[in-house]
Chain A
Amino acid sequence: AQTVTQSQPEMSVQEAETVTLSCTYDTSESNYYLFWYKQPPSRQMILVIRQEAYKQQNATENRFSVNFQKAAKSFSLKISDSQLGDTAMYFCAFSPGNTPLVFGKGTRLSVIA
């Protein structure tokens, strides 16, 4: 079975600091896609960043970057210069081949002023 594990149910960070959210997954597929979604209190699901497994280079989107370790099946999200608006639930998800996304249970991030 394909699984995604987010080992940190809750985290907090001071405004302007850096925080890393961890994610590991399990699959026997070699080609897949990885995503981080953000869910603020408004309940919307917002795509933060994505990574294709065949690409060696880690994806970055402004203050958000990932550390993708394919051999270790690890896909962590780093948020730099944290802002109050980053307060949200963060979900790691992956899609092996052309199958539906499998989600982790989420990490609740609080940014403290």
Chain B
Amino acid sequence: NAGVTQTPKFRVLKTGQSMTLLCAQDMNHEYMYWYRQDPGMGLRLIHYSVGEGTTAKGEVPDGYNVSRLKKQNFLLGLESAAPSQTSVYFCASKGWSNQPQHFGDGTRLSIL
């Protein structure tokens, strides 16, 4: 019973490099979300998806892209990493509108 799995758990990048964070859920959930967590800021929504093939911008989308080609996967991409993107990234999913979100364990990303 994996729930929401994020890959990788840790990563260090150099400024300008690109990478993709993978989120996979095995609960057949329609909704998926990417957040970033910074000290004193709580969780801020980057992008989200309300179903396979759909994506939408959240509060802080600049510098990130996402794709939801398969229902169970939600990918977050950084095309040209910047130090300001150093953060802990959380993926979450939920099945229906009145259900709580289930979170992955987070990815700690450091950009030097």
| Residues of A that sit less than 8 Å from B by CB | 9, 33, 35, 37, 43-45, 47, 50, 52, 91, 93, 95, 97-98, 100-101, 103-106
A45 to B101, CA, bound (A): 10
Question: How many A-B residue contacts, CB cutoff 8 Å?
Answer: 40
Task: Judge whether B42 and A47 touch: CB under 8 Å.
Answer: no
Task: Judge whether B98 and A33 touch: CB under 8 Å.
Answer: yes
Given contacts A43-B88, A43-B106, A44-B103, contact A97 B41 (CB under 8 A): no
Within 8 A of A (CB), among B55-109: 58, 88, 90, 92, 97-98, 100-101, 103, 105-106
**Taking the nearest CB of chain A, how far is it from the CB of B11, in angstroms?**
15
Provide the residues of chain B in CB contact with A44, threshold 8 Å. Answer: 103, 105-106
Task: Judge whether A104 and B106 touch: CB under 8 Å.
Answer: no
**Taking the nearest CB of chain B, how far is it from the CB of A74, in angstroms?**
18
Task: Judge whether B42 and A100 touch: CB under 8 Å.
Answer: no
Within 8 A of A (CB), among B19-35: 33, 35
**Taking the nearest CB of chain A, how far is it from the CB of B30, in angstroms?**
11
**Taking the nearest CB of chain A, how far is it from the CB of B96, in angstroms?**
9
A103 to B42, CA, bound (A): 6
**Taking the nearest CB of chain A, how far is it from the CB of B38, in angstroms?**
10
| Residues of B that sit less than 8 Å from A by CB | 33, 35, 40-45, 48, 58, 88, 90, 92, 97-98, 100-101, 103, 105-106
**Taking the nearest CB of chain B, how far is it from the CB of A58, in angstroms?**
17
**Taking the nearest CB of chain B, how far is it from the CB of A109, in angstroms?**
15
A102 to B101, CA, bound (A): 12
Contact of A47 among B58, B100, B106 (CB under 8 A): B100
Task: Judge whether A100 and B103 touch: CB under 8 Å.
Answer: no
Given contacts A105-B42, A106-B42, contact A100 B58 (CB under 8 A): yes
Provide the residues of chain B in CB contact with A43, threshold 8 Å. Answer: 88, 105-106
